[in-house]
């Protein structure tokens, strides 16, 4: 019977690939974040630290479980800044969500140390870094619990989908409840774990499970191509004197980004070389998360800010250093399907 269960087989494949003990396929990365937060018992009154540069879903998921996101600056690696993370801690801080943006691993060593010293859960948002490693461990398997997204823009896709990864059996059990109504419609909930709490329906279909199995089998090839392309492009840019952005794991960062000393230099480079400036990349910057900035939830009484007992403080959530870095930074769009000869042509254009 189990041979017909495509989702379960994909979960087993993903566990084998990432070396995560437990994996759950879900309907989106956002659903995965909500389940991970619920698994970690995050709710009203809690604060969760998230970077100011990420997809809106990272902060949005926090609000949807009734907690409030506290915005943290990014550093020169373009990922969450451990120093600002520490500065933003309060007695209400319960978790941090490091986001491995554009295939660039966060400084997990520093983040884990701060989390350990302050009793924070670490929920990794590895939506944009599936298969990327930080010091030999896969992004998403380093903190307490991690999340992937399989939407159409990610390293592997089934249209829309996601996954939750954890080594903690209790978090796994709670995430199972969260993604399957707390009842266990899926057969792997039978014969063991009791439903712990009411969840939502964040299941994916067997069709998606079948597609994801094929996608996962192709992932290594795609990542190897990205690795070869990004190493070559970085070498070409470095030789041409273009200032590359810092990498927390130089061997594993599968994207090409550069940070100039002035905004004008970045605008100039983007225009002349046909690359995108990160500041112009819509909706991944906190200043463009309009419902969150307006504190607009689906119902006026559903007000996570009032539950946290703190008025929303625009100034406290301001991240000027993040805006400055993004204004001065460009990234080369390194799609996984880009063949090496095409990447070579791209490299010539970048330094012509
Ligand atoms: C894509 C993405 C998500 C959400 O994934 P969906 O599958 O679109 O819900 C969350 N965080 C980051 C950083 C993402 O890039």
Averaged pLDDT for residues 295-304:
95
157 lines ligand 1 (CB under 6 A): no
pLDDT of residue 11: 96
User: Looking at ligand 1, which atom is closest to the CA of residue 162?
Assistant: 7
Chain-centre distance for alpha carbon 112: 16
Q: Does residue 87 sit in helix, strand or coil? A: helix
- Quote the mean pLDDT of the chain: 93
Q: Does residue 213 sit in helix, strand or coil? A: helix
At 330, give phi and psi (nearest 5°): -125, 150
pLDDT of residue 194: 65
Q: What is the pLDDT of residues 127-164, one digit of tens each?
A: 999 999 999 999 999 999 999 999 999 999 999 999 99
Q: What is the pLDDT of residues 15-60, one digit of tens each?
A: 999 999 999 999 999 999 999 999 999 999 999 999 999 999 999 9
User: Looking at ligand 1, which atom is closest to the CA of residue 151?
Assistant: 7
**Whether the Cβ atoms of residue 330 and residue 261 lie closer than 8 Å to each other:** no
Query: Can you tell me the distance from the alpha carbon of 54 to that of 283, in angstroms, rounded to the nearest whole number?
Result: 8
Helix (H) or strand (E) holding 101: none
Separation of CA 347 and ligand 1 centre (Å): 29
Averaged pLDDT for residues 290-319:
87
Strands 121-125 and 93-96: parallel
Separation of CA 191 and ligand 1 centre (Å): 33
Averaged pLDDT for residues 202-228:
95
Separation of CA 50 and ligand 1 centre (Å): 14
Separation of CA 240 and ligand 1 centre (Å): 34
Query: Can you tell me the distance from the alpha carbon of 298 to that of 75, in angstroms, rounded to the nearest whole number?
Result: 33
Q: Which residues 6+ apart lie within 8 Å of 327 measured at CB?
A: 263, 266, 277, 279
Q: Which of 26, 28, 29 for a ligand 1 pocket mutation test, highest count of atoms within 8 Å of Cβ?
A: 29
Averaged pLDDT for residues 293-310:
92
Separation of CA 33 and ligand 1 centre (Å): 9
128 lines ligand 1 (CB under 6 A): yes
162 lines ligand 1 (CB under 6 A): yes
CA-closest residue to ligand 1 atom 2: 127
**Whether the Cβ atoms of residue 216 and residue 13 lie closer than 8 Å to each other:** yes
Q: Which residues 6+ apart lie within 8 Å of 119 measured at CB?
A: none
Tell me the whole-structure pTM to 2 decimals. Answer: 0.96
**Whether the Cβ atoms of residue 331 and residue 80 lie closer than 8 Å to each other:** no
Q: Which residue, among 1, 3, 17, 26, has the nearest Cα to 215 in the 3D structure?
A: 17
Chain-centre distance for alpha carbon 191: 33
Q: Which of 62, 97, 98, 125 for a ligand 1 pocket mutation test, highest count of atoms within 8 Å of Cβ?
A: 125
Strands 133-134 and 68-72: unpaired
**Whether the Cβ atoms of residue 186 and residue 195 lie closer than 8 Å to each other:** no
Crossing angle (nearest 10°) for helices 6-18 and 206-239: 30
127 lines ligand 1 (CB under 6 A): yes
Query: Can you tell me the distance from the alpha carbon of 139 to that of 100, in angstroms, rounded to the nearest whole number?
Result: 7
Q: Give the number of other Cβ atoms within 10 Å of residue 312's Cβ.
A: 16
Q: Which two tokens stand for residue 183?
A: 């009842």
């Amino acid at each position: 019977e189990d041979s017909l269960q495509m989702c379960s087989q994909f979960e087993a494949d993903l566990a084998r690939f990432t070396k995560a003990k437990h994996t759950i396929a879900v309907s989106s990365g956002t659903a995965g974040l909500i389940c991970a937060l619920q698994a970690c018992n995050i709710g009203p009154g809690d604060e969760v630290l998230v970077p100011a540069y990420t997809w809106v879903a990272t902060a949005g998921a926090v609000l949807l479980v009734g907690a409030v996101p506290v915005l943290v600056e990014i550093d020169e690696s373009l990922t969450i800044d451990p120093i600002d993370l520490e500065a933003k801690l309060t007695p209400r801080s319960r978790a941090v969500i490091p986001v491995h943006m554009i295939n660039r691993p966060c400084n997990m060593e520093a983040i884990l140390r701060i989390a350990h010293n302050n009793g924070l859960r670490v929920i990794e948002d590895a939506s944009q870094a599936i298969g990327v490693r930080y010091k030999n461990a896969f992004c998403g398997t380093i903190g307490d619990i991690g999340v992937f997204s399989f939407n159409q823009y990610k390293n592997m896709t089934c249209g829309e989908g996601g996954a939750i990864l954890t080594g903690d059996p209790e978090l796994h059990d709670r995430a199972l409840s969260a993604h399957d109504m707390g009842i266990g419609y899926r057969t792997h909930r039978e014969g063991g774990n009791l439903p712990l709490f009411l969840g939502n329906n964040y299941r994916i279909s067997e069709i998606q499970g079948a597609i994801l199995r094929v996608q996962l089998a192709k992932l290594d090839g795609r990542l190897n191509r990205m690795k070869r392309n990004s190493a070559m492009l970085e070498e070409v840019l470095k030789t041409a004197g273009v200032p590359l952005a810092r990498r927390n794991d130089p061997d594993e960062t599968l994207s090409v980004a550069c940070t100039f000393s002035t905004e004008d230099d970045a605008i100039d480079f983007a225009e002349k070389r046909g690359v995108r400036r990160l500041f112009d990349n819509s909706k991944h910057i906190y200043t463009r998360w309009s419902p969150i900035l307006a504190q607009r939830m689906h119902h006026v009484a559903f007000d996570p800010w009032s539950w946290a007992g703190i008025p929303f403080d625009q100034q406290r959530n301001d991240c000027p250093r993040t805006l400055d870095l993004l204004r001065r930074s460009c990234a080369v769009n390194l799609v996984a399907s880009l063949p090496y000869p095409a990447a070579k042509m791209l490299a010539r254009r970048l330094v012509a």
